[in-house]
Structure 1
Amino acid sequence: MPDSPVVARLRAAGSVFAEDEAALLVAEARTSEELETMVERRVAGLPLEVVVGWVEFCGLRIGVEPGVFVPRRRTEVLVREAAALGRAGAVVVDLCCGTGAVGAAVHAELGGVELYGTDIEPAAVRCAARNLEPLGGCVFEGDLYAPLPAALRGQVDLLVVNAPYVPTDAIAFMPPEAREHEPHVTLDGGPDGTDVQQRVAAGAAGWLAAGGHLLIETSREQAARTAEVFAESGLTSTVRRAEDVDGTVVIGSRPR
């Protein structure tokens, strides 16, 4: 629809994929009034995924809502590496779960897992519950490990974590749809981007089973520092990089 009014409005608002976005909005809208509302929201800068209410992630349709971090394609490497280390029936905890996309994708890749998620943001907890509870998952509101059932201590096979890792001063340079429409708590990783990673790594040993793994998404530039954070907490570490999705993960292991 290269000449449609919707394409023209999206292009004027700065969309570099106006034709693709317009096609998706037209396909998702049930009425012309709904289409108009969706276009207005997108032109105002709301992330496309929030406008349509879902994002494709690892081949799954994950529900998204306003005020929740939108999963990025680069995070698919976190799922790939977790799936390579896991097994069906594994105990998986998705910390800082947001929509629950990582947990849901690991569940799908492994053919079913015992799944838990936590997030400090109430909107994220509601969203993740809608995505994970149909899979048998449980989602808790609170700070990192704090809301998890005590019975999980020493039982977790995979801790999968997409914690905030944008350095505080770098948030101002992020695209407007991220810095203006996603909670800063989901972006801000502190001065060097590893504040939350440090807290996650420090608490991991108490929750991981013997031979269990902690996997944290990070950036190419921060990977060495994230690996240091793991070492400081007594975890071995390996850096994995996936160029096809521009994703980086550091994997830590608790010795058997």
Structure 2
Amino acid sequence: MPSHPSPLPTPLAVPVSAPLTRSAVVTTLRAAGCVFAEDEAELLFSTARTADALAAMVERRTRGLPLEHVVGWAEFYGRRIAVDPGVFVPRRRTEFLVGQAVDLGRRAAVRTGRPTVVVDLCCGSGAVGAVLAAALNPVELYAADIEPAAVRCARRNVLAAGGRVHEGDLFDALPTGLRGRIDILVANVPYVPTEEVGLLPPEAREHEPLVALDGGADGLDVLRRVTAAAPQWLAPGGHLLVETSERQAPQAVEAFTRNGLLPRVADSDELYATVVIGTRPSSAPRPS
């Protein structure tokens, strides 16, 4: 599913009573500011089961709801992920983080000879964890989020993948038995500086939870908290992967280094994505 710019709050271009032909829906979506109106119309027609459902979907989209919230799912890393209203929509750029985690997870399986222990922290819909479970099978998968709506949504995706979902603040949500055992820890933390949240597209700032967007004064508050605790939870040789922006990467690397993780930065020009990867040294003592 492509990224769709936010519609503008403009009136419907055709009367509500007009027949909902494809051309009428395209005209309506285009008037509302949808750049990919033709693609969206095709998706709405293929998703709606009745004419009334289609009309409701078109109306919700023209009011500015994210397309993924309208149809109830997002395409992510080649899979269809359930996405409920009010839940953070997985971004295509995060597919780069997933690709890095898949590669490291496969190496971990070879190294340890057992199912890879994967944790999806700040999981939102659980998209990252669900994809990793499919790509790395067999895995021992856990996901966690502080938002109740996200936890409910993630359970639909993660439980189907054989994982477990917990509600709570970062590591406080996880079973204590995971300490020192995690091979792959992915944390899609919020990293938008507080003063820049208002610059986000309306469909993000108005329809996604603020806790999933606002990373504090410099955007790195949650990243620092995750990085500070991660060494206690990672297995020796385990990896922490965090998405951030290119300009924030140097500060993120400092946080990783300060907490004893060996950092490296991976970038994708195609997806405009930056991921900081920190490895717990294999020689590090196992936490008690």
Which category of TM-score, normalised to the shorter sequence, fits these structures? over 0.9
1:163 partnered with 2:189: yes
Query: Which residue of structure 1 lines up, in the alignment, with residue 272 of structure 2?
Result: 246
Q: Distance in 2 between matches of 1:243 and 1:161?
A: 21
* Structure 1 position 12 matched with structure 2 position 12: no
TM-score by length of 2: 0.87
- Give the SS at the match of 1:145: helix
TM-score normalised by length of structure 1: 0.97
The CA RMSD over aligned residues, in Å, is 1.3
- In structure 2, C-alpha distance between the alignment counterparts of 1:118 and 1:6, rounded to whole Å: 38
Residues 177 and 193 (structure 1), Cα distance of their counterparts in 2 relative to 1, 3 Å cut: same
Structure 2 unmatched ranges of 5 or more: 1-19, 110-114, 283-288
Give the conservation status (yes or no) of the 8 Å contact 1:2–1:19.
no
Q: Are 1:158 and 1:212, in contact at CA under 8 Å, matched by a contact in 2?
A: yes
* Structure 1 gaps, min length 5: none
The structure with the largest alpha-carbon Rg is 2
Which aligned runs of 4 or more in structure 1 are off by greater than 6 angstroms? none
Matched ranges for 1:4-153 at <5 A: 4-87=23-106, 88=109, 89-153=115-179
Instruction: Verify: 1:204 aligned to 2:230, yes or no.
Output: yes
Summarize deviations over 1:202-252 as a string: whole Å, max 9, x none: 000110000000000111121111111111212110000012211110000
Q: Is the 8 A contact 1:90 1:114 kept in 2?
A: yes
Deviations 1:77-98 (A, max 9, x none): 1111111111352000000000
Identity rate, percent:
62
Q: Which amino acid aligns with 1:13?
A: A
- Total equivalences in the alignment: 256
What is the identity, as a one-letter code, of the residue corresponding to 2:78? G
Quote the Cα distance in structure 1 between the aligned partners of 2:230 and 2:21: 51
Task: Check the 8 A contact 1:226/1:250 in 2, yes or no.
Answer: yes
